Amino acid sequence: MTSVIIVLGLTIENLRFPALIFTLLFLAVTFFIIIRRSRILKDDIDQMIKFSETIASGDLKHKPFIEKGELKGLADTLVRVADRIKEELSEATESKKKIEMILENMKEGLLIIDENNTVLLASNSISQIFGVDPPVEGIQAIEILRDAELFLLLEETKTKRQILTREINLKSDKFFSVTASPVEMNKQEVCVLMTFYDITRLKKLEQIRKDLVANVAHEIKTPITAIKGFTETLLDGAINDKENATRFLKIIRRHSERLNSLVNDLLTLSRIESGEIKPELTDIDISEVIDSLLSLVSEKAKRKGLYLQKSLPSQIPLIRADKDKLIQILLNLVDNAIKFTDHGGVTVGSEISENKIIIFVEDTGIGIEKKHLSRLGERFYRVDMPRSRELGGTGLGLAIVKHLVRAHGWDMEIESTPEVGTKVKIYCESLLSKTK
């Protein structure tokens, strides 16, 4: 019995040793696997953390490299999110560039102002319109607008929450049509979009139209009144008084001629402006044109005791021009020069200056003050109105000259000194263009 127990004890001891070895090996392998998986998991987590940090910093190029494991699904989801963010950022960047390009190049002024009257967005032209240094975003609207009427428009738009438009004179010579539109950012906050359209040119054209109507009415009224008055006088019996009848008829004829000249000049000016009259360009000898011109006005100059002379360089090239229109230009200029010159005379000629061919008309007349020079060429504008009317001028001659010069693609300049004389220069062509 004792032997059996001893044998069993040895057998159990023999069995315990391999089991222990197996257990230890199993634990060692398990521990090794756990450590390895922990390291892999830690590496995957580190990659995920690094990937999250790169996303937070705006770098969407780097992506986690996880082939398998518990975090692969999460990594794939984050990669898809990053790709979507990248696409949306790209679209947002492209939209931002387009908006910036529009704001940089638009001529109209644009302001977006929030509820606290802070400028959120502005076009580049705002700086030019209001004379402020860019950028204007982030500053108070009152610092830019600097106009009570504009600020009242801003506040009224926020209060009424409707689109309002005003025509405002921001500067002495600048007019703008300002539209203010409410833009709801949320239920509580209302921003205002203000646009500024420069209507200065339209205002000037409107004023020119008004002045033209008033001037035409005034110019026509004088001869019509005279014709009507002397006609009624003749009909009332003065026709039987031969001496006075003849004098009255001469006055009627003079005023009818003036009226006819006025209508003809208005029609000519209208046809030039509408493009109905276009220069037919040919090669023109300036010397021949001046000779033709002087023959037309020589008698008029002689009656006033004025000289007429031609001044040309030894050699002057041909110019491309409409001969009849060029004669019309010079005839108007010389006619004016003779009218306003009491002694001396008029010189018509050509010269070359800075590679430009110039035709000029120069007189020794009464001259023109500097303040009038910029307005010469406006319809019905006269420096000496009583004398101009007395001499039969319609006030449209220089306007016709200016438009005919422009129709040729030329430029005109007027130099004048009171009591010394006036010189009108027409810059015809560049000599460089003739060498091409």
- Return averaged pLDDT per consecutive 10 residues of the chain, 436 residues in all: 46 54 63 60 64 62 56 64 70 66 71 86 82 81 83 87 86 83 77 88 80 74 84 83 83 84 78 76 90 89 91 86 89 88 91 86 87 72 57 69 87 88 86 52
- At residue 425, the pLDDT reads 92
- At residue 306, the pLDDT reads 92
Task: Please tell me the distance from the alpha carbon of residue 422 to that of residue 402, in angstroms, as a whole number.
Answer: 16
Report whether 310 contacts 348 (CB < 8 A): yes
Whole-model pTM: value is 0.53
- At residue 433, the pLDDT reads 55
Q: What is the 3-state secondary structure (H, E, C) of 170-221?
A: EECCEEEEEEEEEEECCCCCEEEEEEEEECHHHHHHHHHHHHHHHHHHHHHH
Cβ neighbourhood burial of 329 (10 Å; 0-12, 13-18, 19+): buried
- At residue 25, the pLDDT reads 65
